[in-house]
Amino acid sequence: MIEVRNLYKKFGEKQVLKDFSFTFEQGKPNLIIGESGTGKSVLLKCMVGLIELDSGEVKYSGTDFLRMNFKEKKLIRREIGMLFQGGALFDSMTVEENIVFPISLFTDASEEEKRERANSCLKRVNLENVNHLFPSELSGGMKKRVAIARAISMEPKYLFCDEPNSGLDPKTSILIDQLINDLTYELNITTVVITHDMNSVLEIGDHIAFLYRGEKCWEGNKQEILHTDNKQLNDFVYATKFLKNFKDKLI
C-alpha cells in the first residue's frame, strides 16, 4: 500500500500539485486520471523521487519515502517497477539484456538463471523469440510489453505505469491494460496507473482518483464514474458529443 498525504509541488509560479492525498491500495490497479497538463505525471515522478516535492508525505508500507536517506531510497526503489510513457528501453541493449539489467546489477544470478528469468517474464507478457532483438526493431505495443517484462523482472511490490497505452491502437491498449490488471492481482502488488484513456478507466478502474488542476476532486471506481455529479469529471468522461448524447439518453 502507498499513502500520499498533502502533496504540494510548484514550478516557478505555477502550483502543479495542491494538497493531494490518496491511498493506493495493494492488490488492485489504482488509476490517476485527468486532462493533459493537470499534474498526473508530476505526481507519479514525485512519488518515486524523480522530482522533489515541496511538502507532503509519501509512505511505502508505512515508511515515509521523503525522510529516507539515499541508501534507503535506493533499496525501496529496487521494490519498484516502472513503465514509462515511451517504454524507456535501453537502446544499446537487446530485449533480453534490458530485462536482466537490474538482475545483473543487484543479484548474483548465473547467466542461465538470468536467461530463464528473462524468458519467463517475456512469456508472461505474451512475447517469445524476441530476446535478441533491439528496441528499435520492435513495434510500439511490443516495446510496452518488454518494458512491463523489465518492470516485473525483479518481482516488485509496487508497479508504476505512466500512460501505458499512449500511442497504441485501442485493441493493443486493452491488451496492455488487461496485462497490467492480471499482473496486479496475480502478484498482489500495488499498481499506480496514470492515464487519460477512458477505455483503460472502464477496463481496469477499480480505484480511481480524478486530478483537476493539481487537486484531487473525485475518488471512486469505474461503476461510480459513469454516474457522478462532479462537473469537471463529467466534462472529462463525456468529452465527445456522442458520449454526451448517450448519457442524456441513459438518464
Partner 1 sequence: MKIFFNIGRYFILLNKVFSKPEKGVIYRNRFFQEVYSLGIGSLGIVAIISVFIGAVITIQAAFGFSSPWIPLYAVGLATRDSIVLEFSPAIVSLILAGKVGSNIAGEIGTMRVTEQIDAMEIMGVNSAAYLILPKILGFMFILPFLIVISMFLGMLGGLVFGVLTNAVTAHQYMVGIQYDFRPYNVVYALVKVVVFAFLITSISAYHGYYTKGGALEVGRSSTKAVVYASVTLLFFDLLLTQLLLA
Rule CB under 8 A: which residues touch partner 1?
45, 48-50, 74-75, 77-78, 80, 82, 84-86, 88-91, 101-102, 104-106, 154, 160
- 164 neighbors 191 (Cβ within 8 angstroms): no
Least separation, in Å, of the C-beta of 97 and partner 1? 11
* Cβ nearer to partner 1, comparing 103 with 225: 103
Least separation, in Å, of the C-beta of 155 and partner 1? 13
Q: What are phi and psi of 19, to 5 degrees?
A: 50, 50
Residue type, 158: Y
Name the grid cell of 97.
Answer: 539484456
Least separation, in Å, of the C-beta of 29 and partner 1? 19
Say how far apart CA 3 and CA 45 lie, in whole Å.
15
* Cβ nearer to partner 1, comparing 74 with 231: 74
* Cβ nearer to partner 1, comparing 162 with 197: 162
* Cβ nearer to partner 1, comparing 24 with 160: 160
Least separation, in Å, of the C-beta of 204 and partner 1? 22
Least separation, in Å, of the C-beta of 148 and partner 1? 13
Name the grid cell of 10.
Answer: 510548484
* Cβ nearer to partner 1, comparing 50 with 239: 50
Tell me the pairing of strands 55-60 and 2-11.
antiparallel
What Cα–Cα distance (Å) separates residue 199 from each residue in 46, 74, 160, 214, 232? 26, 35, 18, 23, 18
Least separation, in Å, of the C-beta of 237 and partner 1? 29
- 97 neighbors 89 (Cβ within 8 angstroms): no
Say how far apart CA 239 and CA 241 lie, in whole Å.
7
* Cβ nearer to partner 1, comparing 55 with 104: 104
Length of the chain as a residue count = 251
Closest C-alpha to 201, from 40, 18, 21, 10: 40
Task: Say which residues have a Cβ less than 8 Å from residue 230's Cβ, sequence separation at least 6.
Answer: 210, 217, 218
Least separation, in Å, of the C-beta of 31 and partner 1? 20
* Cβ nearer to partner 1, comparing 104 with 223: 104
